[in-house]
């Protein structure tokens, strides 16, 4: 569309230019007068110029003419024809007026002559050349347009890869995966100094496949390798190869590697390679399609007849199970690096990386945050810190606090709070008993995770929520822990049944999650009387091809699986029922606190278990909140130094923290012994000193680095 508009504009300019030239070349006036009128105007002194063309044509310019003679010397106001081709009368009229002018101040007009025969001959000679020139311009424009269309048609086979000559990402920007860094560091050495390995007969890896859940940093790892090696980086998605035209995908693969050959050494990164690298022959009917042609060409380019020793192909996917086996053999993707969800130490490092450019308050503790975010990926941590920063900016504050980050965590898990939603007292009461049931069973069963937060404020799709945090990142989960988790999930439904003598739809998600765990216990993990047998769904059923007729289990076995699932769920349901029935008073007290506070945390749940009354817990909680707000206003925010290389600034901040601690200690010493006893329960100077020690250690580590 843009090319057509451009062509139209060019043609319009050419036409206007021709018209303008013709106008400038034309010398006739627009008005015709009679010969007698001409003589009258000469006698009246109104004529300034006369041009006699041949024997019969006269062109006239008047003294009051609006024509700029300077710019249009050949333009005239009027013209007339000479009768009998005799111009002598014109000369006679001019001569008579010169001798005895009829008008005072009369001046004779200037007379010039023109040979129309010569001018017409020149015009006739120039016209063919001008016509040929204009025709050539038009033909050239049409040719360029058609050539552009042809080029566009041929560009279907060109690669859509984005080339970055200098990548700024380094390994220091990637945290929480030290083992993966070590594996990829060898690739960097291969690219920087290949002779070191070739001299001892080592072969440079052809490809590296990064496998892991979404958000673990696979793409970031690929960029970091290119940045550390300082080599060009070709990035493309797997879906960019496949088009509706036959052969386009294979052509793009060839063009991609042709470009990479001219930039060796380099890295070719294919994101989401499962879009083009799925197993061949898995379509309904087995068939040969465009995707398989593209995959075949990729296999040939990676390890075919041509050598691409300076090209390392890196790819990322979270579906390695569906990739073609030929793609995973040695010589193609020599290495498979599994990028796992970070552990607690990895999450702490990721927090430090993403908090470099964010002003943090002194109460932000990365170790605590790492424990609270079990199962979070790097993308999740970056997102929650961003949500915390947005919340801080929304409140017109300059420093991100621990409370902001906790709210960011909850927002990522369950969605935003909906405090404005109108909730009836009945629904609020049901939600309070439901969430209290979850919390009490989680606290009293030995294998459940620690209760971190309980709320009856709607968040996301939930009317309320109970958040538990694991103490450790366990790789192995026991049957006892799974049973306790199912009992905790069903405890909300149990509390509804016991208190309101009815059940609601609020336990839908709980039942779904509990049933999913129970099914996996029976069919995948061998935790039932059916024994150690895998009864899960076929892995390749999604393709509707090769395994289309494969059956997962017989109807008799399916009935046994359902019976075992029900047995597990019933056992856990009765466990939750017994705990809530035995601790009905604790359930009612927690509901009272929830009605007053709407959201309670771990220390408040612990106080309930210790036997404190709801009134006392509410009073202590309010006093603690007042002291926190007062301390924030008096002390002010102290940014936490988290970035690498900020050792000097962190030392200065530590000094400020120590000065604040000294002031607090002096204030405490001035108080009475009774006041000191109360402050010891509420304040935690030891924790703050420990925090300052941790920051000092981090500063020393930064210096060492």
Which positions are annotated as active-site residues?
435
Say how far apart CA 336 and CA 93 lie, in whole Å. 108
Q: Which residues, 6 or more positions from 67, have their beta carbon under 8 angstroms from its beta carbon? A: 61, 75, 76, 77
Rounded-to-integer distance, Cα 58 and Cα 78, Å: 9
The first and second tokens of residue 332, run together, are: 């193609």
d(CA 469, CA 618): 24
By three-state DSSP, how is residue 268 classified? strand
Using alpha carbons, select from 502, 406, 494, 504 the residue that is nearest to residue 455.
406
Enumerate the H helices of 155-235 as residue ranges. Answer: 178-192, 194-198, 218-229
Write the CA distances from 270 to 27, 40, 499, integer angstroms: 70, 91, 57
Strand arrangement, sheet containing 599-601: 465-469, 450-455, 599-601
Residue in the structure block whose two tokens are 């000559």: 165
Q: Which helix (H) or strand (E) holds 272?
A: none
Map tokens 């941790």 to a residue: 694
d(CA 159, CA 551): 42
Q: Is the dihedral of CA 74, 79, 82, 88 positive or negative?
A: negative
What CA–CA distance (Å, rounded) separates 275 from 148?
Answer: 31
Task: Spell 490-499 as b/e; 16+ CB within 10 A means b.
Answer: bbbbbbbbbb
Measured CA to CA, the distance from residue 217 to residue 124 in angstroms comes to 76
Residue 74's alpha-carbon distances to 61, 68, 69, 118, in angstroms, are: 10, 10, 8, 16
Q: Which two tokens stand for residue 198?
A: 């070739």
Give the CA angle between residues 400, 406, 409 to the nearest 5°: 115
């Amino acid at each position: 569309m843009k090319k057509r508009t451009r062509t139209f504009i060019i043609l319009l300019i050419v036409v206007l230019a021709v018209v303008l030239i013709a106008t400038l070349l034309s010398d006739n006036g627009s008005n015709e007068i009679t010969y007698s009128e001409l003589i009258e105007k000469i006698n009246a002194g109104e004529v300034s110029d006369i041009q006699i063309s041949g024997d019969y044509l006269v062109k006239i310019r008047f003294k009051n003419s609006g024509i700029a003679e300077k710019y249009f010397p050949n333009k005239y106001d009027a013209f007339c024809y000479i009768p009998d081709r005799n111009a002598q009368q014109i000369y006679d009229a001019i001569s008579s007026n010169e001798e005895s002018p009829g008008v005072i101040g009369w001046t004779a007009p200037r007379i010039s002559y023109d040979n129309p025969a010569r001018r017409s001959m020149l015009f006739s000679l120039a016209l063919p050349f001008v016509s040929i020139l204009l025709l050539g311009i038009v033909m050239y424009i049409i040719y360029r347009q058609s050539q552009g269309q042809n080029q566009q048609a041929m560009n279907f086979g060109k690669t859509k890869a984005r080339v970055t000559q200098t990548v700024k990402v380094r390994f220091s920007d990637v945290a929480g995966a030290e083992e993966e860094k070590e594996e990829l560091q060898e690739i960097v050495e291969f690219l920087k100094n290949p002779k070191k390995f070739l001299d001892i007969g080592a072969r440079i890896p052809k490809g590296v496949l990064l496998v892991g859940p979404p958000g673990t940093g696979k793409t970031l790892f690929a960029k970091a390798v290119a940045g550390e090696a300082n080599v060009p980086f070709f990035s493309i998605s797997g879906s960019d190869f496949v088009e509706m035209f036959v052969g386009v995908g294979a052509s793009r693969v060839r063009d991609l590697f042709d470009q990479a050959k001219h930039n060796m050494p380099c890295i070719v990164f294919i994101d989401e390679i499962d879009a083009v690298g799925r197993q061949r022959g898995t379509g309904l009917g087995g068939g040969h399609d465009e995707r398989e042609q593209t995959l075949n060409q990729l296999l040939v380019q990676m390890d075919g007849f041509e050598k691409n020793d300076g090209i390392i192909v890196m790819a990322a996917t979270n579906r390695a199970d569906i990739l073609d086996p030929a793609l995973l053999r040695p010589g193609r993707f020599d290495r498979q690096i599994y990028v796992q969800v970070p552990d607690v130490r990895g999450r702490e490092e990721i927090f430090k990386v993403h908090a470099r450019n964010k002003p943090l308050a002194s109460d932000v503790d990365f170790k605590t945050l790492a424990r609270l975010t079990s199962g979070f990926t790097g993308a999740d941590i970056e997102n929650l810190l961003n949500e915390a920063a947005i919340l801080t900016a929304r409140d017109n504050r300059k420093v991100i606090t621990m409370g902001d980050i906790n709210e960011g965590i909850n927002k990522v898990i369950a969605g935003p709070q909906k405090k404005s939603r109108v909730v009836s007292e009945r629904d609020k009461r049901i939600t309070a008993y439901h969430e209290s049931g979850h919390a009490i069973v989680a606290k009293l069963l030995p294998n459940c995770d620690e209760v971190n937060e309980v709320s009856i404020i709607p968040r996301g799709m939930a009317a309320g929520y109970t958040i538990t945090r694991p103490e450790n990142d366990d790789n192995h989960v026991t049957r006892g822990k799974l049973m306790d988790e199912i009992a905790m999930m069903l405890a909300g439904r149990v509390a509804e049944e016991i208190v309101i003598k009815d059940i609601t739809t609020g336990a839908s998600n709980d039942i779904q999650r509990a049933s999913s765990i129970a099914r996996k216990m029976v069919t995948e993990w061998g935790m039932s009387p059916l024994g150690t047998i895998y009864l899960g769904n076929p892995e390749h059923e999604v393709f509707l091809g090769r395994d289309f007729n494969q059956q997962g289990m017989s109807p008799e076995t399916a009935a046994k699986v359902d019976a075992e699932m029900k047995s597990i769920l019933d056992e856990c349901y009765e466990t939750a029922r017994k705990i809530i029935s035995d601790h009905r008073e604790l359930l009612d007290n927690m509901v009272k606190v929830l009605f007053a506070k709407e959201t309670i945390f771990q220390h408040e749940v612990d106080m309930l278990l210790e036997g404190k009354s709801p009134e006392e817990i509410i009073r202590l909680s309010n006093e603690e909140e007042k002291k926190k707000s007062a301390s924030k206003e008096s002390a002010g925010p102290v940014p936490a130094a988290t970035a690498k290389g900020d050792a000097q600034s962190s030392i200065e901040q530590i000094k400020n923290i120590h000065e604040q601690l000294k002031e607090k200690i002096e204030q405490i010493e001035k108080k009475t012994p009774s006041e000191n006893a109360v402050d010891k329960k509420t304040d935690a100077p030891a924790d703050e000193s420990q925090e300052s020690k941790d920051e000092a250690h981090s500063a020393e580590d930064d210096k060492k680095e």
